[in-house]
């Protein structure tokens, strides 16, 4: 060999290079107009001049990107016979409509489908049927207002679902039940005001749940019960004033929770969350920003800076109520209960009662777990040997009128004030104008612990 010249490649290597070059040229020759076939299996299309899905898509294409076009609709079989596609990205287009059969030829291998930053409002119920290999689906920054009930039924391998920055106001019960492999769910920046109890049923492998920047004002106590492996929960920037007792207890693996940006009402309904935050301070991120919105005297204070005795509720009697108390005490207590008491309401005989005492469960709140009837001004004798009540479960003579109507699913808050000879109980009834922290849909036949307060009426009982 002459100096400076490379040795000749063996014939088989030359043949492989030749075949590769020919393959590249063939792929370029098949490339649709206004698209680039950067590699043999990658097609990129962009430009305002594109109004329909470019064709023909090379049969050997494995990834297709359609970005910044004026495509408004994906019709049936829009992608021809591109059955080898693994990734499809259609972003920043005028896309507003997807036909039920738009992806029908992409079923065998598609793993990633990105449809962000479009104008999609409605998704066809069977639009994603058959995409059994899909692992990533993103639909963020569209205008989706609702999710059809069967939309995600055939995606057993989906690992990440992004529905953020849409206009979702609610979720169908069990909408994600078949997403048994899902690890991350993004629902941020929607208009969710409530979540059904079964919203996250089936998501036993979920690790990351993003619910920030919605309109959530109440949560069911079991809404997260089916998420045993959840590690990150983001509830920032909602309208939560309190959460139900036990809400976070099933989340044994939780390591990061975000609660700031909510208008927390720091009264007796926040006892559970206050206790949970203090006991799990390393898990609560931005904890100094978790602050009270009300009552006024606590506004702006960090929840972590409060003592248990700061978290009190106030119950008032109707101004028309008038009686003289049979035991001496002041009208305003250290527990924050302010009541108007005038002549003639307390009877001398006690009603039929069945009273049970329970110890405090750890949240620092005194709660009424069940009441089937009551009336204002009833007096109950208290046995000298009874311990100080932390929780009270009672069934009263129904002839005195219902305080918790059957099937109402609503409750009231118990307040206890120590007085000479017993305790003064104030309980706000379900007919109040304001309700906070109520447990929705609690069946009367299966009483639940209720810590919510409703604040217009009250019953006064000396124990």
**Maximum Cα–Cα distance across the chain:** 123
Which one of 275-289, 307-321, 398-412, 417-431 scores highest in mean pLDDT? Answer: 275-289
Q: What is the rounded radius of gyration, in angstroms, for the C-alpha atoms of the chain?
A: 31
Mean pLDDT confidence for 343-360: 35
In a domain, 392, yes or no: yes
Terminal alpha carbon distance of the chain: 111
Instruction: Please give the share of the chain, as a percent, with pLDDT higher than 70.
Output: 61
| pLDDT at residue 394 greater than cutoff 70 | no
CA 430, CA 440: separation in Å to the nearest integer?
12
In a domain, 99, yes or no: no
Q: Which residue has the higher pLDDT, 394 or 31?
A: 31
Q: Which residue has the higher pLDDT, 288 or 351?
A: 288
In a domain, 135, yes or no: no
In a domain, 106, yes or no: no
Q: Which residue has the higher pLDDT, 386 or 261?
A: 261
Cα-based distances in Å from 417 to 207, 322, 347: 44, 19, 20
pLDDT of residue 39: 74
137-187 pLDDT, tens digit each: 999 999 999 999 889 999 999 999 999 999 999 999 999 999 999 999 999
pLDDT of residue 81: 77
| Total domains, the chain | 1
| pLDDT at residue 6 greater than cutoff 70 | no
Per the prediction, the chain carries an average pLDDT of: 71
pLDDT of residue 38: 80
CA 63, CA 76: separation in Å to the nearest integer?
19
292-328 pLDDT, tens digit each: 999 999 999 999 999 888 898 865 434 333 333 333 3
Name the residue range of residue 433's domain. 353-462
| pLDDT at residue 199 greater than cutoff 80 | yes
For residue 239, how many other CB atoms are within 10 A of its CB? 14
pLDDT of residue 314: 67
Instruction: Please give the share of the chain, as a percent, with pLDDT higher than 90.
Output: 51
In a domain, 96, yes or no: no
Mean pLDDT confidence for 260-277: 95
| pLDDT at residue 8 greater than cutoff 80 | no
pLDDT of residue 255: 97
Q: Chain centroid to CA 430: how far?
A: 25
CA 71, CA 90: separation in Å to the nearest integer?
9
pLDDT of residue 301: 94
Extract the tokens encoding 157: 């391998």
- Model confidence at 344, in pLDDT bands (50, 70, 90)? very low
66-97 pLDDT, tens digit each: 999 999 999 998 887 788 999 999 999 999 99
In a domain, 380, yes or no: yes
Mean pLDDT confidence for 396-415: 34
In a domain, 454, yes or no: yes
366-391 pLDDT, tens digit each: 333 333 333 222 222 334 443 433 33
Mean pLDDT confidence for 228-256: 97
| pLDDT at residue 31 greater than cutoff 60 | yes
CA 408, CA 404: separation in Å to the nearest integer?
7
Cite the beta strand spans of 24-98 per DSSP E.
35-39, 42-46, 63-67, 73-74, 87-91, 97-98
Mean pLDDT confidence for 19-33: 54
> H/E/C letters for each residue in 195-251?
CCCCCCCCCCCCCEEECCCCCCCCCCCCCCCCCCCCCEEECCCCCCCCCCCCCCCCC
Asked whether the beta carbons of 271 and 365 are under 8 A apart, the reply is yes
Asked whether the beta carbons of 41 and 60 are under 8 A apart, the reply is yes
Mean pLDDT confidence for 39-57: 90
pLDDT of residue 449: 31
Q: Chain centroid to CA 228: how far?
A: 15
In a domain, 358, yes or no: yes
95-148 pLDDT, tens digit each: 999 999 898 877 789 999 999 999 999 999 989 998 999 999 999 999 999 999
Mean pLDDT confidence for 334-343: 30
pLDDT of residue 107: 77
Q: Which residue has the higher pLDDT, 234 or 410?
A: 234
């Amino acid at each position: 060999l002459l100096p400076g010249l490379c040795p000749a490649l063996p014939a088989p290597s030359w043949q492989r290079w030749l075949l590769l070059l020919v393959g590249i040229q063939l792929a370029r020759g098949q490339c649709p107009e206004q698209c680039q076939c950067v590699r043999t299996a990658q097609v990129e299309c962009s430009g305002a001049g594109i109004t329909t899905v470019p064709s023909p898509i090379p049969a050997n294409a494995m990834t297709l990107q359609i970005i910044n076009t004026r495509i408004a609709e994906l019709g049936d079989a829009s992608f021809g016979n591109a059955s080898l596609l693994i990734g499809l990205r259609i972003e920043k287009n005028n896309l507003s409509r997807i036909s039920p059969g738009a992806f029908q030829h992409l079923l065998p291998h598609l793993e990633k489908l990105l449809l962000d930053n479009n104008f999609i409002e409605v998704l066809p119920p069977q639009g994603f049927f058959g995409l059994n290999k899909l692992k990533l689906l993103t639909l963020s920054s569209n205008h989706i207002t609702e999710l059809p009930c069967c939309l995600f039924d055939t995606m057993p391998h989906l690992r990440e679902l992004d529905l953020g920055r849409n206009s979702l106001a609610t979720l169908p019960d069990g909408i994600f039940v078949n997403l048994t492999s899902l690890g991350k769910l993004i629902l941020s920046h929607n208009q969710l005001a409530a979540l059904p109890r079964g919203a996250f049923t089936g998501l036993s492998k979920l690790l990351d749940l993003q619910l920030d920047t919605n309109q959530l004002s109440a949560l069911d106590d079991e809404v997260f019960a089916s998420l045993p492996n959840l590690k990150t929960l983001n509830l920032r920037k909602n309208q939560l004033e309190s959460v139900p007792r036990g809400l976070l207890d099933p989340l044994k693996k939780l390591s990061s929770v975000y609660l700031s940006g909510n208008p927390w009402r720091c009264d007796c309904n926040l006892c559970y969350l206050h206790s949970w935050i203090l006991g799990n301070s390393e898990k609560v991120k931005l904890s100094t920003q978790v602050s009270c919105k009300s009552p006024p005297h606590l506004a702006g204070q960090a929840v972590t800076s409060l003592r248990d005795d700061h978290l009190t509720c106030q119950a008032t009697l109707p101004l028309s109520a008038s009686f003289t108390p049979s035991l001496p005490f002041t009208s305003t207590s250290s527990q924050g209960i302010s009541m108007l008491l005038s002549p003639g309401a307390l009877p001398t005989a006690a009603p039929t009662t069945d009273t049970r005492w329970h110890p405090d469960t750890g949240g620092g709140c005194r709660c009424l777990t069940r009441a089937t009837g009551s009336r204002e001004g009833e007096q109950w004798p208290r046995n000298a040997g009874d311990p100080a009540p932390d929780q009270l479960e009672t069934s009263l003579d129904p002839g005195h009128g219902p305080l918790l109507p059957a099937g109402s699913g609503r409750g009231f808050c118990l307040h206890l004030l120590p007085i000479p000879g017993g305790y003064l109980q104030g309980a706000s009834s379900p007919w109040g104008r304001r309700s906070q922290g109520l447990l929705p849909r609690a069946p009367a036949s299966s009483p639940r612990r209720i810590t919510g307060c409703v604040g217009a009426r009250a019953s006064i009982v000396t124990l």
